[in-house]
Amino acid sequence: MQRRAVVGVLVVLGIVAVGGGIAAVVFPALSGGPPSVSTVTDPNPDGEVGGLYSGTKTDPESGVRIGGGAGGLPILLWNDGTTRRTLQVGLVHQESGETLVDRQVTLPPDGTYLVRILHPDRYTLTVGTESSEQTETLRVTHTDFRCSDQRTTIRVRENGTVMSRTQWEEVACD
């Protein structure tokens, strides 16, 4: 009788272990793995981000999406200058330590690039200019995905200084 109970427990533990392994492969977000990253040529198909920034900057022509779904946290990189500028953009997923984005983005005068984080987690975004040592580091946490309309702009001025500004309005949660 006792042997049957031990065998039963071992079978259950084996099933749980195999199920956990499958879940880690099929659903990496559940295992603390980094979310997917995709480059998009139309980063704002629903016009949602344009509404947040309407009248202040040009609409982004390209961008990157972190995770899947809709909504999320929009971060607009803005070349607030009169000449083309190349920015170095890096995004690290803190949970896994993996670099999700490491690229150079060339923007026209008054041009914008959208980083849209759809997967709530902890990240570090670094934006710098190619020609100077000036950088801006933005830390994103779970609280940035709260019930709000939040917008962050990382602005690169004509003189190469980089700064960020975040604004939000609290809204009712669904």
CB 105 within 8 A of CB 150: no
The Cα–Cα gap between 86 and 118 comes to 25
CB of 114 closer than 8 Å to CB of 44: yes
Q: What is the pLDDT along the chain (174 residues), one digit of tens a residue?
A: 566 655 554 444 445 444 444 333 344 444 457 888 876 766 555 555 555 555 556 777 788 888 887 778 888 999 998 999 999 999 999 999 999 999 999 999 988 899 989 888 999 999 998 776 788 899 998 877 776 677 888 999 988 889 988 887 766 666
Nearest by Cα to 71 from 45, 94, 92, 103: 45
Q: Spell out a b/e string for 49-76, using b for 16 or more CB atoms within 10 Å of the CB, else e.
A: beebbeeebebbeebbbbbeeeebbbbb
Question: In whole angstroms, what is the distance from residue 103 CA to residue 86 CA?
Answer: 10
* Residues paired with residue 104 on neighbouring β-strands, in sequence order: 88
Listing DSSP states for 48-98 in one string gives HHHHHHTTTSPPPS-EEEESSSS--EEEEEEEESSS-EEEEEEEEETTTTE
Instruction: Evaluate if pTM is beyond 0.85.
Output: no
Element (H, E) at 12: helix 2-26
In the numeric block, the tokens 């016009």 are attached to 47
